[in-house]
Amino acid sequence: MDKQPDSSSAQSDLEREVAALMVSALNLEASSDDIAPEAPLYGAGLGLDSIDVLEIALEISKRYGFQLRADNEDNVSIFSSLRSLSAHIEKNRTQ
């Protein structure tokens, strides 16, 4: 019997696209496939800092046509993981 992939650890198409955007924008040495959808983006996860988040927010606004505001009280949860960031993009994108 073939084992089914764990859907919680598999990237969706948008998650794969956002992971590639992060790798490119930040010149990360990691592959976009190495970014686990539920792993934290800050600290022990991908290790992003506030400057990295600003770079990603700029790239997201260019590609998906909406602004991620610095004063949004939901930023901590939006940027908590690749999955949460991708879900926010899917909900707000205009392109």
Model pTM score:
0.86
> Within a domain: residue 18?
yes
Quick: pLDDT tens for 6-62: 557 789 999 999 999 999 999 998 899 999 999 999 877 788 888 999 999 999 999
Instruction: Output the pLDDT for position 6.
Output: 52
> Within a domain: residue 74?
yes
Cα 34 to the chain's mean position, in Å?
Answer: 12
C-alpha 31/C-alpha 21 separation (Å) is 11
Q: What is the DSSP letter of 30?
A: S
Instruction: Output the pLDDT for position 58.
Output: 94
**Largest Cα–Cα separation, the chain:** 50
The CATH code of the domain that includes 56 is 1.10.1200.10
3 state DSSP class of 42 = strand
Instruction: Output the pLDDT for position 50.
Output: 87
3 state DSSP class of 67 = coil
Domain limits for position 86: 13-92
Please state the domain count of the chain: 1
What mean pLDDT do residues 60-79 have?
A: 92
